[in-house]
Structure 1
Amino acid sequence: MDGRTRRWAGHREARRLELVDAAVVAIEEHGPDVTTEQIAGQAGVSRPGLYRHFDGKDDLQAAIAARSVERLVAELEPVWRPSGRPREMLERALAAHLRWLSEHANVYLYLKRNSLPSSGDSVESASTNVRSVVSAHVAQMLIDGSLGAETEPAVAHPLAYGLVGMVDAAAAHWLDEPHGASVEALGAQLTEACWAVIRVTVGSTVIDALGSVGADTA
């Protein structure tokens, strides 16, 4: 690939990213039922002009999903550098995740409604991908001892994916029907539930020992 070709490819990729960011703004403004015309309008292009940069609606949705996952991981970046007591780390992680969901509820609901794989399709949905990214990070933190004690992979992975799945399901329901609960109340409830599951899974002796981990840096 010569220099001119590389520059052109870079320009096209930059333009795609601009259009994806415009699509996210349109979703935030118009909600999860946003139309392609509204996305194109936000981007300042025609509908055919929009699709000159994407291979159809599925490609556009996949790009929006990838960008959303990237932003969520960036939002949670401090969580991947843990400090303090394990329970406090869990509380901070849940607070950051729920804050992102509440601030970007329309984008999250768009991903849930529009990025589901078709029947027989093995490609992950956008919402499943978000869970997978977060779960993989949590599992690795359990395995490498970042949370205060090393956990066997055979235990860490089901535990991480189960916890993230529970949080995701509860948060998705809360977005639809909060039942008067604030995001802070939901975070506190989920912290208690997740900590109870962790305690049962790894054992109360380990949990009690973890109580002093990070006490000097909390």
Structure 2
Amino acid sequence: MSETPTTDGRARRWAGHREARRLELVDAACSAIAEHGPEVTTEQIAARAGVSRPGLYRHFDGRDDLQSAIAARSVERLVAELEPVWRPSGRPFDMLAKALRAHLRWLGANGNVYRYLKRTSFGTGGESATTNVRATVASHVAGMLVDGSLGAEIEPAVAHPLAFGLVGMVDSASAHWLDEPHGASLDQLVSQLTESCWAVIRASLGTDAVAGP
């Protein structure tokens, strides 16, 4: 009877060690994707992690599990990059510009990872990882629209479609810019998207409901 707590403690420590090692391998995989591009092979990921291919898969239930773990980690990193935006401060228009700049800065620094996410399913639902990113960010934006952080309190029935539409527009435009910038700088795209998103918000609510920049 007295051995049970000790056994449980060892089991928890071992589980924690395995989870930490799995995270190390996922981070190594993200580095391999950044280096080799979205067509990265399992062998290249294993080499970056310093393990054999079988050694890599001792920590994952096949390629799908590895891809889902990479996707989850990338979503976590992007949300962390945008985390300051979820704490409203300053003028709503400036907050919007700040969020767009953070997103585009992340995208520019992680272009290969983003392209990999577009090809990768997330979890078991079959949705792409980028779809999950959009849903995560859009839910945050909808919450800010509902609570008035962006200048006016909007009822959920309006806020959620508006937020998902804005995030979809930004994602599509920024993904195109990543592959074909057509001479546009990051600053230029931030300015264009900020103005466009703000115009949509004001048009949806009426120009008197939201103060201009």
TM-score, length basis structure 2: 0.93
Q: Secondary structure at the match of 1:207?
A: coil
After superposition, give the CA deviation of every residue in 1:167-215 in whole Å (9 maximum; x if it has no partner). Answer: 001111111111111111111111111111101111101123x65xxxx
Distance in 2, matches of 1:192 and 1:182, equals 16
* Structure 2 counterparts to residues 106-125 of structure 1, below 5 A: 106-115=112-121, 122-125=125-128
Matched, 1:196 2:199: yes
| Percent of aligned positions that are identical | 74
TM-score, length basis structure 1: 0.91
Matched, 1:161 2:167: no
Q: In the alignment, residue 83 of structure 1 is paired with which amino acid?
A: S
After superposition, give the CA deviation of every residue in 1:26-60 in whole Å (9 maximum; x if it has no partner). Answer: 11111111111000000000111111111111111
Structure 1: gaps spanning 5 or more residues: 212-218
- CA gap 1:122/1:21 in 2 versus in 1, 3 angstroms: closer
Q: In the alignment, residue 65 of structure 2 is paired with which amino acid?
A: D
The question of whether the paired residues in 1 share the 8 Å contact of 2:68 and 2:120 is answered with no
Q: Which residue in the other structure is 2:101 paired with?
A: 95
Matched, 1:45 2:51: yes
Matched, 1:149 2:155: no
Distance in 2, matches of 1:71 and 1:198, equals 27
After superposition, give the CA deviation of every residue in 1:126-177 in whole Å (9 maximum; x if it has no partner). Answer: 1001001100100001111222321100000000000000000111111111
Runs of 4+ in 1 over 4 A off after TM superposition: none
Which of residues 16, 24, 28 in structure 1 aligns to 2:22? 16
Q: Which residue in the other structure is 2:137 paired with?
A: 134
Q: In the alignment, residue 139 of structure 1 is paired with which amino acid?
A: A
TM-superposed CA distance for 1:116, in Å, is: 7.2
Q: Secondary structure at the match of 1:206?
A: coil
TM-superposed CA distance for 1:99, in Å, is: 0.5
Q: Secondary structure at the match of 2:210?
A: helix
Q: Which residue in the other structure is 2:3 paired with?
A: none
Distance in 1, matches of 2:150 and 2:190, equals 19
Q: Which residue in the other structure is 2:67 paired with?
A: 61
- CA gap 1:20/1:184 in 2 versus in 1, 3 angstroms: same
Give the number of the structure with larger relative contact order, counting CA–CA contacts within 8 Å between residues 6 or more apart: 1
Distance in 1, matches of 2:191 and 2:148, equals 24
After superposition, give the CA deviation of every residue in 1:96-127 in whole Å (9 maximum; x if it has no partner). Answer: 1111001111100011123379xxx7432110
Q: In the alignment, residue 201 of structure 1 is paired with which amino acid?
A: S
Structure 2: gaps spanning 5 or more residues: 1-6
Distance in 2, matches of 1:35 and 1:203, equals 51
